[in-house]
Structures are given as C-alpha cells and as structure tokens.
Structure 1
Amino acid sequence: MPVGVIGLGDIAQKAYLPVLTALPGLDLRLMTRDRAKLDRIADTHRIAQRYTDLGELIDSGIRAAFVHAATDQHVPITTALLEAGIDVYVDKPLDYHLAGARKLVELAEREGRSLMVGFNRRHAPGYVMAKERPRDLIVLQKNREGLPEAARTLVFDDFIHVVDSLLFLVPGEVEHVDVRSRVRDGLVEHVVLTLAGDGFTALGIMNRLSGSTEEILEVSGGDSKRAVHNLAEVIDHRGQPTVRRRGDWVPVARQRGIEQVVTGFLDAVRSGKVLSARDALYTHELCERIVNELETQAR
C-alpha cells in the first residue's frame, strides 16, 4: 500500500519512521522541502521514493499520508490530501486555532475520508489499563523544567495531551470546567484544569518550572488506586503496592501507544473503514477555551 510521510522532523524520525519501516506491505514515500535532509533520512531507511513537492507526492498515487510537518502547515497540507481523496493521520494539534481544526474535520466528513489525530496516549498500555479501574478521582501531571511558554503554543503543543487523556479517562459526561494558572510576563508557568461530572473529578496539571520532566497519572476509586509513571511503570495500590514495569524488550513506541495508533489507522485504510476526528475536535474545543481563560487571567 503506498503511504506518504510528510515532514521529517524529530517526531517523525524518532517515533514514526521506526514503526512504519518495520511494518510489512507498505510502500513508503517521503516528502520534505529540505532535499539534503530528505536524502539523508531516505538513505538511512532505504526508501527510494522521495519528494520535495506535495503535489508530486499526491500524484504518485498514495492512499494514505502521515503529516508530521510544522503545525502552521497542517491545514494547507491536510486540505490538499483530503481533497485528493487520501486518508490522513496528523500529529496533534490539527491547528493552533479551533477554526482551522474544525475546517479539517468538516472537510474530511464531506469527502468521506478518514482523519485521525495523533493522540497516542489513548493507545498506551498503561493508560488503557488505567481505564479498567474505578475513576472517581483522576490526577494527571505532565511537568517540565525551565519551559514557561505563551498560552496558545503551550496548550496546543503540549497540554493538549493532558486534556485529551483526561477526556479519554473520565467515566462520564463533563459538566464543569475550571482553569487556574500562573502567568508572568506573558508566559504560562503552570496551569491546572479541573473537569467534573456525576461522581467524578479529573485534574490536569502542568508545571513548566517544576525542576523535572515527568508524567504521572493516578486514578482512584473503590478504595484502590492505579498509578502510571512516565507511561512505563504501573503501580497498583490496595494495601501493599504492586509494581509492573515495561519489559526489557518492549519497544518504546509500543509503550507510548505509537505502534498501536499507527497500525489502527493503517488497518482502517486497508479495510475502507472511515475514522472520524469529531472526538479529537472536542479536545481542540476545550483547548481553545483553556487558552482564552489563560489569556484573560494574564491581563
């Protein structure tokens, strides 16, 4: 099956190409405007078909595409692909603004094509396991060291993973949303999101001055707790804690859900199943609301 990969930055190189090049039955075709980078990466993976022009890649007959280009290029690239009848997987976010994300989702629906957003945590084994447990209280922290940032890019580039993971894990309809933050000199130092509904509360926390890079999920209810540390270690608490660690030979891409989300998308393309991005659009809607709250609080 002919598949295009558009954009060859760090995420494409570290997370996606190792998975895609190991899958059988794919005819990979790489595209980036930087010819030297294109040749270097294609040589590394022994990929013959190389393009610096999107139109030429589309004309080559690809059935599906992975878009890993810069976020501000997602809308024009994905629009061209969808209008050409190509199913598309896009790195999060679809766009830095809700209007752009909504445009792509509605276009995919009109064209009858799949549009999938790279929310890999929905497929990460540790987070899937967390969904098996009672979830009266959910706390997810995704912290960084020395990285305060403007609200829009912080939320749509990074905090969006926290937002989407909470929406994946909550056991019911969200009825209440609250946002708290600390913003200095126009840069967000921390943000705390509260989602609540019938019988549950979910907290999403990001501290960009935490002194540590970490991701910790805790779900609790029924007098028990399950914690997931950095997507790799699962700890169950009910009296004496029990720890399950990622096996030595389990690939990082599988631990982080990259392998599963990629194969899920490609299986849908092969079978003709159309994947909707409506659920992902709700995540973008909530992120836009959070940005507006942060910018208001900064005034």
Structure 2
Amino acid sequence: MPVGVIGLGDIAQKAYLPVLAALPGLDLRLMTRDRAKLDRIGDSYRITQRYGDLGELIDSGLRAAFVHATTDQHVPIVTALLEAGVDVYVDKPLDYHLDGARRLVDLAERQNRSLMVGFNRRHAPGYLMAKERPRDLIVLQKNREGLPEAARTLVYDDFIHVVDTLLFLAPGEIEHVDVRSRIRDGLVEHVVLTLAGDGFTALGIMNRLSGSTEEILEVSGGDSKRAVHNLAEVIDHRGQPTVRRRGDWVSVARQRGIEQVVVGFLDAVRAGKVLSARDALRTHELCERIVSELAAQTR
C-alpha cells in the first residue's frame, strides 16, 4: 500500500518512521524540501521514493499519508491530499485557528475520506487502563520547566493533549467549563482547566515553570484511585498501592500509543472504513474557548 510521510522533523523521526518502517505491506514515500535530510533519512530506512514537491508525491499514487509538517502548513497540505482522494493522518493540531480546523473536517466529510488527528494518548495503554476505573474526579498535570509561552501556541501545541485526554476520559456530558491562569508579560506561566458534569469533575493543569517535565494522570472514585506517571507507570491505590511498570521490551512508541494509532489508521484505510475527525474538532473548539479566556485575562 503506497503511503506518504510528509515532513521529516523530530516527531516523524523519533515516533512515526520507526513504527511505519517496521510494518509489513507498506510502500513508504518520503517528502520534505530539505534534500539533505530527505536523502539521509531515505538512506537510513532504505526508502527509495523521495519527493521534494507535494504535487509530485500525490501524482505518484498515494493511498494514505501521514502529515508531520509544521502546523502552519497543515491546511494547504491536508487540503491538497483530501481533494486528491487520499486518506490523511495529521499531527495535532489541525490548525492554530478553529476556522482552519473546521474547513479540513468539513472537506474530509465532503470527500468521504478519512481524517485522523494524532491524539495518541487515546490509545496509550496506561490511559486506557485509567478509563476502566470509576472517574468521579480526574486530574491531569502536564508540566514543563522554564517554558512560558504565548497563549495560542501553548494551548494548541501542548495543552491540547490535556484537553483531549480530559474529554476522552470524562464519563458524561460537559456542563461547566472554567479557565484560570497566570500570565506575565504576555506569556502564560500556568493554566488550569475545570470541566464538570453530572457527578464528575475533571481538572487539567499545565505549569510551564514547574521545575520539572512530567505528566501525571489520576482518576478516582468508588474509594479507589488509579494513577499513571509519564504514560509508563500505573499505580493502583486501594489500601496499599500496587505498581505496574512498563515492561523492559515494551517500546516507547507502544507505551505512548503511537504504534496503536498508526496501525488503527492503516487498518481502517485497508478496510475502506472512513474515520471522522469530528470528535477531534470538539477538542479544537474547546481549545479556542480556552485561548479566548486567556486573552480576556490579559486585558
């Protein structure tokens, strides 16, 4: 099956190409404008079909494509692919603005093509295990060290994972949304999102001056708690804690859900099943609301 990989930056090199290159039955085709990088990566994976132009890549006869280009290029690249009848997997976010994201989702539906957004945490084993438990209270922290940032890029590049995971884990409809933050000199230092519904509350926390890079999820209810640390270590609390760690031979790609989401997308393409990004658009809509709230808090 002919599959394009567009954009060969860190995420493609570290997360996706190792998975794609190990899967049977794929005819991989690489595209980037950086010829030296294209040849270096093509040589390392023994991929001979290499392109510096999107039109030429599309004309080669793609069935599906993985888009790992910079976010500001998502709309034109994904538009061209969908209009050519190619099923698309694209890194989050679809676009830095809600209007661009909506246009891509609407186009995919008109073209009857799959559009899947790279929310790998929906497929991470630790987070799927968290979804098995009562979730009266959900707390997800995704912290960084020394990285205050402008609101729109912080939310759409990073906090979007927190937003999407809370929506994925929420056990019911969201009836209340609250956003709190600390912003200095136009840069967001921390943001706290509260989502609530009938009988549950979900908190999403990001501190960009936390002194640590970490991701900690806790779900609790029914007098028990399950915690997931950095997507690798699962700790059950009911009396004495029980710890389950990632196995020595479990890859980081599998631990983080990358392998599963890639295989799921490609299986759907082979089966002719159309995957909708309408649910992912809901995440983008909430992100846009958060950006608006943060903008109001800076005035």
TM beyond 0.5: yes
Q: Equivalents in 1 of 2:136, 2:47: separation in Å?
A: 49
Distance 2:12 2:94 in 1: 16
**Post-superposition offset of 1:190:** 0.1
1:108-133 deviations in whole A, cap 9, x for unaligned? 00000000000000000000000000
1:43-78 deviation per Cα after TM superposition (whole angstroms, max 9, x unaligned)? 011100000000000000010000000000000000
Deviation string 1:211-241 (CA, Å, 9 cap, x unpaired) is: 0000000000000000000000000000000
The 2-side partners of 1:25 and 1:178 are apart by: 47
- CA RMSD of superposed structures (Å): 0.2
**CA deviation string 1:151-185 (max 9, x = no partner):** 00000000000000000000000000000000000
SS in structure 2 opposite 1:248? coil
- In the alignment, the residues of structure 2 paired with residue 291 and residue 35 of structure 1 have an alpha-carbon distance, to the nearest angstrom, of 37
- 1:248 positional shift: 0.3
CA distance in 2 between counterparts of 1:261 and 1:295 reads 33
* Cα separation, 1, equivalents of 2:72 and 2:136: 38
2:213 corresponding residue in structure 1? 213
Residues in 2 aligned to 1:275 and 1:62: alpha-carbon distance in whole angstroms: 17
The Cα offsets for residues 226-274 of structure 1, whole Å up to 9 and x where unpaired, read as 0000000000000000000000000000000000000000000000000
Residues in 1 aligned to 2:254 and 2:277: alpha-carbon distance in whole angstroms: 22
Counterparts of 1:51 and 1:263 in 2: how far apart (Å)?
Answer: 24
Tell me, what secondary structure is at the counterpart of 1:65? strand
CA distance in 1, matches of 2:229, 2:288: 28
Q: How far apart in 2 are the matches of 1:196 and 1:178?
A: 9
Name the CA distance, whole Å, in 1 between partners of 2:167 and 2:91.
Answer: 18
Are 2:210 and 1:229 equivalent residues in the alignment?
no
- Kindly report structure 1 stretches of 4+ aligned residues shifted beyond 2 Å: none
**Separation in 2 of the partners of 1:22 and 1:159?**
30
What displacement does 1:186 show? 0.3
* 1:7-50 Cα shifts (integer Å, max 9, x gaps): 00000000000000000000000000111110011101110000
How far apart in 2 are the matches of 1:97 and 1:162?
18
Q: Is residue 125 of structure 1 aligned with residue 156 of structure 2?
A: no
Structure 1 position 283, deviation (Å): 0.1
Number of residues paired by the alignment?
299
CA distance in structure 2 between the partners assigned to 1:121 and 1:189 by the alignment: 24
Q: 1:100 Cα shift?
A: 0.2
Over the matched positions of the two proteins, sequence identity in percent amounts to 90
Separation in 1 of the partners of 2:248 and 2:128?
20
Aligned equivalents of 1:171, 1:195: Cα separation in 2:
11
User: What is the distance in 2 between the residues matched to 1:293 and 1:45?
Assistant: 45
Structure 2 CA distance, aligned partners of 1:44 and 1:115? Answer: 29
CA distance in 2: counterparts of 1:167 and 1:33, whole angstroms: 36
- Give the secondary structure class of the aligned counterpart of 2:11: helix
Q: Gapped runs of 5+ residues in structure 1?
A: none
Q: TM-score, normalised by structure 2?
A: 1.00
Name the SS of the counterpart of 1:189 in structure 2: strand
Distance 1:85 1:278 in 2: 18
How many Å separate the matches in 2 of 1:298 and 1:190? 13
Q: Shift in Å at residue 102 of structure 1?
A: 0.2
